[in-house]
Amino acid sequence: MADGAGAVSTYGGVALRRPGELGAVRRFLRRRSTIGFLMALPLIVLIGGLVVYPAFYAIYLSMLNKRMTQFIWFDNFTFLIGRQTFQLVVFQSCLFAISAVVLKAFLGFVLAHLMHNIPGTRQKIWRGLLLVPWVIPLALSTLTWWWLFDPSYSAFNWLLNAFGFQSIPFLGTGWNARIAVIAVNVWFGTPFFMIMYLAALKSVPEQLYEAAAIDGAGAIQKLFFVTLPMMRNIIAITVLFSLIVTFADFDIVRLLTAGGPQDMTHLFATYAFSMGIQSGNVPLGASVSLFMFPLLAVAAFFVLRGVTKRAREMAA
């Protein structure tokens, strides 16, 4: 046993920690940040295994040749940039994601206001009915839409013919098919925006509306100077999340058009599947999928920076 209060004790040849060190360890383990980290550790490991590792493996694959025998570095990316079909994929992906998200945000905002003004039990009934498109599995609902757009047995064309109009090839021409896949995505995703915005509306204090009414504000002024400022962060986060999911959409285009006609409805995900799985060029397919990352990273940076800035302003 060594002398002195700060010395290390030994017992049977095994060094024992100082009492002060044991207290520091206990304090560290009792911190909320440490407990939170330990509680989140399984989720961190899961995300690392299912997201981080596949992402780095995709980067590795994108730098290989078709036979995956040697590194060709960025040749796959330069090949894609110079390919007209891939340029069309980039245009179509941006058109699909931006237009669908804007429409979903607008319709979700309108529906949320309508739901907010419906009293009592009726609001619950309508809210449940409007959530049905979002609850139904996307593949199943897309097959239903495919039947509605079918060139031979389309229910929409049957109605048009019944009123004396000609049939429309919904999935047979480029722009018709583009509009069709955007419409299906909007139909599926609008309830998500509605429920998020409805929750945000219910969190806006009624005193703000009362104060605005006393100052003579009308409905439009209340919307732009009370409702929207209080909902900006929720709107931004919801739009960002939907933009990421919409950019990576696969089911709708794959089931409705498979990228046709003439590759005019391909998105990043469907084109990566076509190149990597169907054509057998896995590195090229990985390169296609990685093109989404810089576009979404730029959008996420500006949106999250705005959210953080507004949160600091509100806290101050």
pLDDT beyond 60 at 137: yes
Phi first, then psi, for residue 10 (nearest 5°) are -125, 145
Task: Indicate the pLDDT class of residue 56, thresholds 50, 70 and 90.
Answer: very high
Task: Measure Cα distances from 235 to 76, 96, 241, 249, 308 in Å.
Answer: 37, 19, 10, 21, 13
pLDDT at residue 192, as a whole number: 92
Question: Which secondary structure element, helix H or strand E, spans residue 15, and what is its range?
Answer: strand 14-16
Give the predicted TM-score (pTM) of the model.
0.83
The CA-to-CA distance between both ends of the chain, in Å, stands at 56
pLDDT in tens, 7-40: 455 545 545 555 566 677 777 777 888 888 889 9
The token pair that represents 47 in the structure block: 């995300």
pLDDT beyond 90 at 286: yes
pLDDT at residue 186, as a whole number: 96
Say if residues 228 and 299 touch (Cβ distance below 8 Å): no
Task: Measure Cα distances from 6 to 18, 19, 26, 66, 300 in Å.
Answer: 7, 8, 18, 65, 52
pLDDT at residue 312, as a whole number: 79
pLDDT at residue 7, as a whole number: 47
pLDDT at residue 11, as a whole number: 47
Q: Checking DSSP bridges between strand 14-16 and strand 9-11, what pairing results, if any?
A: antiparallel
Say if residues 63 and 72 touch (Cβ distance below 8 Å): yes
pLDDT at residue 22, as a whole number: 66
Higher-confidence residue of 8 and 78: namely 78
Average pLDDT of the chain is 86
pLDDT in tens, 178-196: 999 999 999 999 999 999 9
Residues whose CB is less than 8 angstroms from the CB of residue 72 and which lie 6 or more positions away in sequence, other chains included: 63, 64, 65
pLDDT beyond 80 at 263: yes
Burial of 137 (0-12, 13-18, 19+ CB in 10 A): exposed
What is the rounded distance in angstroms from the CA atom of residue 8 to the CA atom of residue 1? Answer: 8
Q: Which domains does the chain have, with CATH numbers?
A: 1-30 (no CATH), 82-315 (1.10.3720.10)
